[in-house]
Structure 1
Amino acid sequence: MEMRKFRGTFLLGLWSAVVLIALIALRNYDWYPAVGTSMSPTIQPGDVLLVQNGHEDWKRGELVLFQTDGEETLFIKRIVGLPGDRIEAVQGRLRVNGQPWPEGPLAGISIPDFPAQRVPPGMLFVLGDNPPESEDSRSFGPISEEAVKGNVRAILYPFSRMKGL
């Protein structure tokens, strides 16, 4: 009988610790519903996304949530260019600093050609994973690093698509 009582107390304590850790961790996270097809197939309309608030150490390939100047709409795009990078699309292929985009969703997709441009200091060049359907830095220019709300870390729902990004 004492073993059952001990196990019940232990499980209650363990569950309480897990809940407490989750609450602390979730203070730095939010979730957002995905709208539109600009990030398809990586993100589908209706996916619920886990976003880590804030960030400063940007990397090419990361997915970010941001607002452009004067817009209420939140966008999700992939960082392809960091400050100082030279970005272009030549013969349908994305190139960063003269090199082809290495891997991932944008590596095998044909992108309408655009001329080379240098990413200014404090700015990021972002593209959607579905370029024909995406409004991104090709149309509104590089985004300010300060416009970024956070990094998209995972798909939480639907459960069949749950995964880290």
Structure 2
Amino acid sequence: MKSTKDKRRKQVNRKQQEKNPQLPNKKKRLAHKKKKLQKKMKQLFQELGLTILITFFLLIIIQQLTFSLTKIEGYSMLNTLMDNDRVLVNKLSKVKRFDLVYYRDTKSNEMAVRRIIGLPKEQFYYREDQLFVEDKRVPERFLVEIMKTSRNDKKNSTFTKDFGLQEVTGDQRIPEGKYFVLGDNRPYASDSRELGYIDEKDIVGVVKMRVMPFHQIQSF
């Protein structure tokens, strides 16, 4: 019975081929096109995957060269930055006065964030909670709130004790390639008053934003 059906099927196929002799060639062309399309799709996905991988590694390299996310440790920068805050550091930003800089402390070999007060070749001093650079008063507006709190807690006390550059470093002016930094928590901060200058080459970058905790996101 089965052989009879097979014979009939072959006869039908033979008749169809006789009516349309191009049918086998058409099937071959369709099969060839299908294989070609599958090959192209496979190649496309391989190239797409490779592109995504290369892009991912390039983004990592760019991030390493331009930005970094770091955690604050300690209380020297209260109330601007708190312990365990996460900040975004721009490694390409030019350093200016009052910038928050992320740098390596060569004495402790630890990373820290402090505020730039004195620039190379400058002379400065503090008198009665006022900063004077080249004998001109320079307002520190970022300290207004914390100074109010400090003065309420300790009446008639100065927030930044009087001192001059020469008193704490022995230099009349800041040397080339050096910076004088202070913590915003002036009465308790560990900074250039005790540790000396920071070197330009030890500065990783400028803190541009606090990103965590999320409810305290702030740009600087």
| In 2: Cα distance, 1:78 partner to 1:121 partner | 18
Identity among equivalent positions (%) equals 32
Q: Unpaired runs of 5+ in structure 1?
A: 1-15
Query: Does the C-alpha gap of structure 1 residues 80 and 107 become closer, same or farther in structure 2, counting only changes over 3 Å?
Result: farther
Q: How does 1:116-131 map to 2 (within 5 A)?
A: 116-117=165-166, 118-131=173-186
- Partner residue of 1:152 out of 201, 207, 216: 207
Does residue 36 of the first structure (1) align with residue 91 of the second (2)?
no
Counterpart of 2:97 in structure 1 is 60
Distance 1:116 1:138 in 2: 9
1:54 CA drift (Å)? 4.7
Q: Which has the higher contact order (CA 8 A, sep 6+)?
A: 1
**1:63-78 map, 5 Å:** 63-78=100-115
- The counterpart of 2:160, out of the listed 105, 111, 133, is 111
Q: How large is the RMSD of aligned CA atoms in angstroms?
A: 2.3
| Higher helix fraction (1 or 2) | 2
1:98-149 CA distance string (max 9 Å, x none) = 1223232246742011124321111011111111121111111121111111
Higher normalized strand content (fraction of residues): 1
CA 140–70 in structure 1, closer or farther in 2 if over 3 Å, else same: closer
Q: Which whole-Å CA distance do the structure 1 matches of 2:194 and 2:184 have between them?
A: 15
TM-score (norm 2): 0.60
Distance (whole Å) between structure 1 residues aligned to residue 165 and residue 188 of structure 2: 21
Which residue number corresponds to residue 195 of structure 2?
Answer: 140
Alignment-mate amino acid for residue 77 of structure 1: R
Paired residue total: 146
TM-score, with structure 1 as normaliser: 0.78
User: Please, which moves more after superposition, 109-118 or 36-45?
Assistant: 109-118
Q: Is there any run of 5+ residues in structure 2 with no aligned partner, and where? A: 1-51, 148-158, 167-172
- Structure of greater Rg: 2
Q: Provide closer, same or farther for how the CA distance between residues 59 and 107 of structure 1 changes in structure 2, counting only shifts above 3 A.
A: farther
CA distance in 2, matches of 1:87, 1:136: 16
**1:95 paired residue number:** 132
Q: Which amino acid aligns with 1:87?
A: F
Contact 2:131 2:139 in 1 (8 A): no
**1:52–1:150 contact (8 Å) kept in structure 2:** yes
